[in-house]
Structure 1
């Protein structure tokens, strides 16, 4: 169960006027504060696409109208990064890699280092995605060390956390999230270029999406965790985004939740019009 957040102004997210609101979370009311973070939308293309498909998607994204007050990131497969870098509208979108190596350059066949990404001009990297954790055996410590190394190399990091359905149903969800976050806390020294992506594993690629209340509950919990470990000033500025079957039909309702600062989008990011719609879901959270 979540504990009730304090009503003290120090516990509210930074804003000119603290605006506490009530939201339901697992049967309890929580005192929350409206987000003041700049909205962030990431598109994770995963291992999808062909030359023709990527060209079409880039054209669709370039022709779409997106708010300038939102940070928008596209993460193509490594093989298409150069094309996307050359042709994607840099005024609207930034680039991310989907992974990087845990250390610097060396005899690591098949890997790409954070230093190489930075040298090539890729500013962001996604780390710790559940598919990397489950399919490639990346545990909490590996993800945390990768994150720290990427940050030291000058990259911004979208660090993913989330629980499986069994973990949620067994009541161990918060223990799993605590362990994932504590590993990051132990390694990361500068949080200014970190975005936390909460991705419930049971909602990734399944078409099942957490309800706005479920998502808000976990986002508030993660912010409370960061507040206790890192202090209010960091927790208030840290962007915590939601991933898990986000699409153009459910993004607006999710964006209304106080502690949801954006999205990490999978399948819908492969459809230009859908992704543009999601980017426009920021509403008043867009910061110009």
Structure 2
């Protein structure tokens, strides 16, 4: 079935100097003695190598928050998929809304990033989600369908893919869709994936957007919710671990 459930990933975003990041990684290692699911963190690129080394032998994966679609070149400030791998990363986030809307990345660029990352054998966590305006206008499904069909080439390896649904309006706001909405959206995403890729039935579907210890259990108990992509709450080891446990991890 691929990755063991629950699949709980922490996106540290632009937080953490070396000492902070190593302390956080160490706290997770102490808790994850024999993890029964899949746990991973995505630290800033500046500390990826250090965090990956701290996590060695723990079965907690370390990944990058982005990669460039090209293998190398004059792309100041960017890192390639091979650089992520060289730094000890085994996964990469692609298409996070903070890059789509903050940096103008479109589905064509994201599609190239997915292929570049998988070309290096990296697990890709593709983030999709609608804006509040699209949600209120009833355009959620149309938007998600475009992100899946335009962001994923038909040659994508489903064994190296995770899909994370993050409604843009819920990220960092404390607001979440209703449980009914989440369940319906994840069922839709599963159908779209199965219609797009072979073996897509086994691709983990994560929910992201203001996931915290108080709502994690209810969210991850829903059908077709295989785990969570956690933002701010992943910066606290105890809270992040409790989210993992809420999904059945130990």
TM-score (norm 2): 0.93
| Unpaired stretches in structure 1, ≥5 consecutive residues | 1-13, 15-35
Describe the shift of the 1:236–1:42 C-alpha distance in structure 2 as closer, same or farther (beyond 3 A).
same
Aligned counterpart for 2:233 among listed residues 244, 263, 268: 268
Q: Does the 8 Å CA contact 1:66/1:276 hold for their aligned counterparts?
A: no
Describe the shift of the 1:188–1:137 C-alpha distance in structure 2 as closer, same or farther (beyond 3 A).
farther
Aligned counterpart for 2:152 among listed residues 171, 181, 185: 185
Give the match's secondary structure for 1:186. Answer: coil
Describe the shift of the 1:213–1:55 C-alpha distance in structure 2 as closer, same or farther (beyond 3 A).
same
Give the match's secondary structure for 2:247. Answer: helix
Count of paired positions: 249
Q: Does the 8 Å CA contact 1:66/1:280 hold for their aligned counterparts?
A: no
Whether 1:255 aligns to 2:203 is no
Match for residue 6 of structure 1?
none
CA RMSD of aligned residues (A): 1.9
Write the distance in 2 (CA, Å) between the matches of 1:66 and 1:166. Answer: 44
Write the distance in 1 (CA, Å) between the matches of 2:89 and 2:56. Answer: 14
Write the distance in 1 (CA, Å) between the matches of 2:22 and 2:121. Answer: 29
For each residue in 1:245-276, what CA deviation from the matched residue of structure 2 results, as whole angstroms up to 9, or x when unmatched?
00111100111101101000000000000111
Aligned counterpart for 2:124 among listed residues 157, 167, 188: 157
Within 5 A, what are the aligned runs for 1:223-234? 223-231=190-198, 234=199
Give the match's secondary structure for 1:41. Answer: strand
Match for residue 246 of structure 2?
281
Q: Does the 8 Å CA contact 1:148/1:187 hold for their aligned counterparts?
A: no
Q: Does the 8 Å CA contact 1:37/1:261 hold for their aligned counterparts?
A: no
The 4+ residue runs of structure 1 with deviation greater than 6 A are: none
Give the match's secondary structure for 1:166. Answer: helix
Give the match's secondary structure for 2:51. Answer: helix
Whether 1:108 aligns to 2:75 is yes
Within 5 A, what are the aligned runs for 1:40-59? 40-59=7-26
Q: Which has the larger radius of gyration?
A: 1
Q: CA shift at 1:137, angstroms? A: 0.6
Within 5 A, what are the aligned runs for 1:12-161? 38-65=5-32, 68-88=35-55, 90-161=57-128
Give the match's secondary structure for 2:79. Answer: coil
For each residue in 1:50-78, what CA deviation from the matched residue of structure 2 results, as whole angstroms up to 9, or x when unmatched?
23422332232122246622111111101
Q: Does the 8 Å CA contact 2:154/2:196 hold for their aligned counterparts?
A: no
Q: CA shift at 1:154, angstroms? A: 1.2
Write the distance in 2 (CA, Å) between the matches of 1:109 and 1:72. Answer: 31
TM-score (norm 1): 0.81
Q: Does the 8 Å CA contact 1:66/1:279 hold for their aligned counterparts?
A: no
Write the distance in 2 (CA, Å) between the matches of 1:264 and 1:214. Answer: 17
Give the match's secondary structure for 2:93. Answer: strand
Write the distance in 2 (CA, Å) between the matches of 1:186 and 1:85. Answer: 29
Give the match's secondary structure for 2:62. Answer: strand
Match for residue 210 of structure 2?
245
